[in-house]
Amino acid sequence: MQNAISLLASDPGMVIITIIAFGAGLIRGFTGFGGPAFMLAILTIFFPPISVISKILVVDFFASIYLFQQHFRKIHWPSVIKIALPTILVAPMGHWLLMEIDPGVAKRIIAVTISLSCILMLAGFRYRKKMNTLFLVILGVISGIVFGGTYIALLTVVVVLLGPYDKEEGRTLIIAWSFFAALAFALASGYNGTTTGTDVMIALPGAATYVLGTWIGSLGFRQSSEKTFRGVAILTLLAVSVLNLTL
């Protein structure tokens, strides 16, 4: 234990992650998403991509549990299962791709897609019809590949925000899906050895500040209007996408 504490005290990565994690937690708590993508954009300046994703996994996992249990009674399980189950089944393939392709290229392709979708939403476009089973399953498969390879949930978020859900329904669906996706990613990462004990130890202080930020952000969400929530969510998506394109 003493050696672990010495490692934390001497590793500058711990300080960097802890500071960035608090701001990312505020975003995650208010919108239900965006925290991992924000950290990914910033932390890739300091760490290799695979190492960054393993640390983000640890930081975000505790917040996923917190948000999931907070919204458990509000979850519409049929919709969540139709998206989450395909994501869980396909996520290992995406995780394998993470180690086979250039993650920087994948990150920028996703960022361009998200940015274009944000422009559509800012222009007032929404998919008004109910998303049927086939639509949700296909979304789950695509989400599994993208999330498993990059730990970026923004593609799924964009589709949900473009859909007919109000702020409570949309945010709850995102939170429930991301919990199961994060669980699948954690299992795949642990099995493949891309998340190590050192990653966990370095990221734990960041996980604490991230959860604190998530709690504060959740309080802000409860006070927000539908218009405010959608505006903040779309601008967050756009800002994170631009960060991923430029950094």
CA distance 128 to 135: 14
Domain that holds residue 8: 2-246
pLDDT the model gives residue 99: 63
Q: What is the pTM of this model?
A: 0.78
CA distance 18 to 91: 27
- What is the number of structural domains in the chain? 1
Q: How crowded is residue 130: how many other Cβ atoms within 10 Å of its Cβ?
A: 10
128 in helix, strand or coil?
coil
Q: What is the pLDDT along the chain (247 residues), one digit of tens a residue?
A: 444 444 444 455 677 778 889 999 999 999 898 888 788 777 777 766 666 777 888 888 889 999 999 999 999 999 999 999 998 888 777 767 666 666 667 667 667 767 777 777 777 777 778 888 998 999 899 888 877 766 677 778 888 887 888 888 989 999 999 899 888 777 777 777 767 777 778 788 888 999 999 999 999 998 888 888 888 888 887 887 777 667 6
Question: In 3D, which of 161, 163, 154 has the Cα closest to residue 131?
Answer: 163
> What is the rounded radius of gyration, in angstroms, for the C-alpha atoms of the chain?
17
CA distance 182 to 91: 10
